[in-house]
Each structure stands twice: as structure tokens, then as C-alpha cells.
Copies of this chain bind each other. A is one copy, B any other.
């Protein structure tokens, strides 16, 4: 489960509760690895049993108590070991492309709508990425290595969105004429 490594990565610099992890997976690292809170809590318990994380209960006055986790030395070692290993490529799976294989006169309007919706979603995502870049990564070349890595991941997200939006324009062009016929 690479989710374990994503969680440990999120804990590299901060001690976080399951809830906070789930929140941070809605942004930042979560742009590249999504997980539900259920999965995260389960994973956290397993990681603690394995001794890769340690936990501490924090009492809070105004809010419910929470349990924060941090990397243990052996967690750090395991993470280093994972990073040093060969990453395996998992092919992206996307409904949209499978649907395009089904394109015909009848479903054309619907698929065009889906393309538009995806473009819309991608535009929003791109705006968010760009905002993060402007706020925090004006001069990546001056930053420490880890920050540069995070910046590069962000840049991959930005480039991917830009490319996707260009592609949706190609789709519009190639499908526009068909809509008339």
C-alpha cells in the first residue's frame, strides 16, 4: 500500500491527527494521492502497530480530543527505503477516454457536456495550483531541496492541467462539425 508512504510523507515535518491528514489530502500531497478518512484512520492504526508511527492523545477544550501521529525513527528509515526503491508505474484509469471509444451520434451531446464539465473542473484546479505557486514558490531555485521537489510536483499539476485544457479545445474543434450534421 503506497498510501502508507503518502501518509508518512505528510508526517515528515508535522505531527498530524487522522482528521488533519484527511484535510491535507484534500490539498497538497492529496493532489497526487487521494484517500478517504476511513482508509487513513485504518492505515494509521496499522502503521502504529508496525512501529512506524507513534501517537499521542491531545486534549482540547473547545474541540473534541484528537490523536496526533508522528514518524518514529524506524518509520523514517522505512520511508527512506521506499523512496530509494524502484517506483512502479500505475497506468492512469479514466472513464472519459473509455467513453470516447463509445462515441456516436446519440451520445455526442452528453460526451460534449462531460468534456465541458471536466474542462471547468480543470480550470478551477489550475487556478488553485497557480495561486499556490504565486504565494509560495516565486523563487524555487533559491529553496531547499525538499521545497523544490514539492514545487516540481506542483509544476507537474500545472502543466497537466494546461495540457488537458488545450486537449479539450481540440475535442471541441473536432466534434463541433459533427454536432451540426
Contact = CB atoms under 8 A, between A and B. Distances in A.
Contacts of A152: 100, 167, 170-171, 174-175
Given A101-B150, A102-B79, A145-B103, A110 B89 contact: no
Interface of A: 2, 5-6, 9, 12, 29-34, 79-80, 83-84, 86-108, 110-111, 114, 118, 121, 140-141, 145-146, 148-153, 155-156, 159-160, 162-164, 166-167, 170-171, 174-175, 177-178
A77 to B, nearest CB: 12
A9 B101 contact: yes
Contacts of A151: 174
B159 A167 contact: yes
A6 B83 contact: no
Contact of A156 (B88, B103, B146, B167): B167
Nearest to A181: B145
Given A33-B97, A33-B98, A101-B146, 4 more contacts: A2-B98, A103-B145, A141-B174, A159-B164
A148 B175 CA distance: 8
A108 B146 CA distance: 10
A105 B148 CA distance: 12
B32 A98 contact: yes
A131 to B, nearest CB: 19
B2 A101 contact: no
Contacts of A107: 80, 83-84
